[in-house]
Amino acid sequence: MEAAADLESSLELSYSGAGPGGLPPARSRIFKIIVIGDSNVGKTCLTYRFCAGRFPGRTEATIGVDFRERAVTIDGERIKIQLWDTAGQERFRKSMVQHYYRNVHAVVFVYDMTNIASFHSLPSWIEECKQHLLAGDIPRILVGNKCDLRSAIQVPTDLAQKFADTHSIPLFETSAKNPNDNDHVEAIFMTLAHKLKSHKPLMLSQPPDNDKIHLKPEPKPATTCWC
Amino acid sequence: MSLLRRPPPDGTAPHEYNSKKKRKVAEIYQALNSDPIDVAALRRMAISEGGLLTDEIRCKVWPKLLNVKTDDLPPAPGKELREDNEDYQQVLLDVRRSLRRFPPGMPDEQREGLQEELIDIILQVLQRNPQLHYYQGYHDIVVTFLLVVGERLATALVEKLSTHHLRDFMDPTMDNTKHILNYLMPIIDQVNPELHDFMQSAEVGTIFALSWLITWFGHVLADFRHVVRLYDFFLACHPLMPIYFAAVIVLYREQEVLDCECDMASVHHLLSQIPQDLPYETLISRAGDLFVQFPPSELARKAAQQRVERTAASTFKDFELASAQQRPDAVLRQRFRDRLRVEERTKSFLTKPRTNRFVKLAVMGLTVALGAAALAVVKSALEWAPKFELQIFP
Ligand SMILES: Nc1nc2c(ncn2[C@@H]2O[C@H](COP(=O)(O)OP(=O)(O)OP(=O)(O)O)[C@@H](O)[C@H]2O)c(=O)[nH]1
Ligand SMILES: [Mg+2]
C-alpha cells in the first residue's frame, strides 16, 4: 500500500531543477519520452528514479501505460519531461502501447544487463518503434539497467556497445537502484532532454528565452558503468 | 464483518444497520439451503448493498455464482507444472512483485507460501486450458480468489471465470480487450456528453481503464474489502459490468476531469489514479442502473450506427482507423463529431430528451441496491451466454 502511495505521488514529488532565479515561463515546453523494453528490466524503477529522485521500495507489474512527469530547467528554460512507462509483456505492446507512440519526442530502450534475453529482444523493440513513429529521426537511447548486480551480468559492455553502434543509438549502462547512481540516471534523461532541446524543429514553438543561465552542465554520454 | 466496522451509510443508526445485516445473512443462508439452491436470489444478494458481507459467505456463494461444484475440485498440480510452461517466467516476475496484494501484517513466510500457491493456480489453469493466455494483471484477480477461498477452490473458480468472464482478455492478442474498452466512451456519452467531449478532445484514450478492466479493479484498489465487494458484484453480473463500473467512476469524477488540463497526459494521469474513498455502494448501484438503461446490445448498435453514418459521410475510414488505434486526422474527426453531435442532439431532442436521462438516473439511484433493477441485471447476466446459463441451470 505504501508503495502505491509512493508511485502515485511521483507527480507531486517531481521537483524542478530550476535555480532561484529561474522564473517559470507562462507555458513550458513538454518533452514526451516513451520508455520501452521487456518486462522486469526496470522501466518503472528508472522512470520513478528520475521523477521522484529515488528507487521505489516496491514496484508492481505495469499494466498498460503509466505516466510520470518532472519539471527541469535547461539553459534557463523550464521544461516538463513526461515519461510514459509502458508494460513490458508482449501482448500489451502489440495492441495497447501504440496509442502512446504518437507525438513522442524521444524513445528510451531498456534492457536488463543481468538478463541476456532482454537484450536479445531489443531488435524487435527497435523494429516496432520504427513502425509506429512517423517522424523518422527522433532521438533514441539505449539503457542497460541493473549494473549494480555486478556478479550477475550477462550482457558484456562491448557486446552492447557493438549493438548500439550498429544501430547508431547511444548506450548508457546504469542502475536505478544503486544510490550512488542517482546522478547517473538523472544525467541520462537530462542528456536526452538537452538533445531534444537542440532538436528544435520537432518541438512546439516557444518564445525565445534570453536568460541563458547554464544550470546543468551537459552530461557526457557514458558507455561504461559508473557504478 | 467488515461492514460492522465501517460507519453505517446515510446516517443509519448502528443497531439498525446491524439488524439489516443480520437479516441479509439470514436471507443468504436461506437461499443457500433451499432445494434447489436459489441462485437468482444469491445473485441479488451479491449485487445489493454490502454484497456478500463476509468471506465465510463468499466461500459458499461464489462457487454457486459460477456454478462450480465444490466436491469435484481439480487435482493438486504435479511437480512438472513449472517445468516447461512458457508463461512461468512472466508469472513468477509478476507474483514476486505483488506484495501489495497481501494483508499488510502477514508474516513473510506465510505470504511466500501463498505466493507459491498463487503461481501454481495460475499455471494449472493455463495448463488445463491451452487456449487461454496469461496477461499481466491476471495474477491480481487470482490472488483475490486465493485469499478468500484458498488454493483448491480458487483453482476451480478461477478456471471457470477464465473460460467465461475473463475469456476475452486471455486471447492470444488483446484485440477483444480493446474492443471492450471501446464501450467506455459511448457509456459516458450517454450520461454526460460534455464530459465525453472533453475527454475526446484531450485524446486521452481508454488505456487508463485497462488495468481496472482486466484485473476487476484488483490492481488499483488498496483496500481488500473494496475489492471483494466489487467481485461479489461482478460475479453476479454480465461480464461487461466492469466496463460500466469504470464509466461510473469516470462520471463520478466529472468535476475533477473537467478542471483538468485538456491534454492526454493530464487526463490520463488523473483518471488512472483511483481515489480510495469512492462511495462504492452508490457507484455499484449506478453501474447497475446504467447497464439496465444502456445495455451492451444498445451500445453496440450505437457504435455500429455511428460507423455507418461516419463512413457514409466520407470515404475516410474513421472507424477502422480508430479501432486499429491509429489516429486519423484530428481535425477531420472533429468535424465528423460536430456534425454527428448536432444530428444526435436534434434527434434526441425530438425523441427522448437527454435531460430526461439525468432525471431518470437520479430517480433510479439505488434501485439496484433495492432489488428492482437488480432483477434486470441478473436476468441480463443470464441472457449473456446461453451456454453459461445452461451450466447454471442444468
Ligand atoms: N538490483 C537492481 N534491481 C533493479 C534495478 N531496477 C529495477 N530493479 C528490480 O527489477 C524488478 C523489475 O523492475 P520494474 O521497474 O518493475 O520493471 P519493469 O521494466 O517496469 O517491468 P514491467 O512493468 O513488467 O514491464 C524489480 O524487482 C526491481 O526492484 C536496478 O537498477 N538494480
Ligand atoms: Mg513497469
Q: How confident is the model at residue B16 (pLDDT cuts 50, 70, 90)?
A: confident
Q: Are A218 and A26 spatial neighbours (Cβ–Cβ below 8 Å)?
A: no
CB atoms within 10 A of CB B348: 15
pTM value?
0.80
What pLDDT is attached to residue B313? 30
Query: Looking at residue A141, what DSSP letter applies?
Result: E
Find out whether the beta carbon of A42 lies less than 6 Å from any atom of ligand 1.
yes
Instruction: Compare A6 and B104 and report the one with higher pLDDT.
Output: B104
Contacts of A117 (CB under 8 A, 6+ apart): A38
Chain A and chain B share a number of CB contacts under 8 A equal to: 86
Cα B202 to chain centroid, rounded? 25
Chain A residues with CB under 8 Å of B135 CB are 89, 91-92
> Helix, strand, coil shares of chain A as percentages rounded to 5?
35, 20, 45
Question: Do the strands A65-74 and A77-86 form a parallel or antiparallel pair, or are they unpaired?
Answer: antiparallel
Nearest partner of B38 among B59, B58, B65, B20, judged by Cα: B65
- Distance from the A82 Cα atom to the nearest Cα atom in chain B, whole angstroms: 8
Find out whether the beta carbon of A59 lies less than 6 Å from any atom of ligand 1.
yes
What pLDDT is attached to residue B320? 28
pLDDT above 70 for B72: yes
The secondary structure element, H or E, covering residue B264 is: helix B264-272
Nearest partner of A112 among A157, A148, A146, A62, judged by Cα: A146
Q: Which whole number is the average pLDDT over A173-190? A: 84
pLDDT above 50 for A121: yes
Q: What is the percent of chain A where pLDDT is above 70?
A: 73
pLDDT above 90 for A128: no
Q: How much distance in Å is there from the Cα of B253 to the middle of ligand 1?
A: 32
Is ipTM strictly over 0.90? no
Radius of gyration for chain B, computed over Cα atoms and rounded to the nearest angstrom: 22
**Which residue is closest to A41 within chain B, CA to CA?**
B93
Find out whether the beta carbon of A86 lies less than 6 Å from any atom of ligand 1.
no
Q: How confident is the model at residue A221 (pLDDT cuts 50, 70, 90)?
A: very low
- Residue identified by cell 552542465 is A217
Q: Are A147 and A113 spatial neighbours (Cβ–Cβ below 8 Å)?
A: yes
pLDDT digits (tens, 9 = 90+) for B164-174: 999 999 999 99
CB contact under 8 A, B210 and A96: yes
Q: Which whole number is the average pLDDT over B361-385? A: 45
Q: Which whole number is the average pLDDT over A105-121? A: 97
Torsion sign (Cα): B25, B26, B28, B32 = positive
Grid coordinates standing for A66? 503509466
Burial of B95 (0-12, 13-18, 19+ CB in 10 A): buried
As a whole number of angstroms, the distance between CA B86 and CA B101 comes to 24
pLDDT above 80 for B54: yes
Find out whether the beta carbon of A146 lies less than 6 Å from any atom of ligand 1.
yes
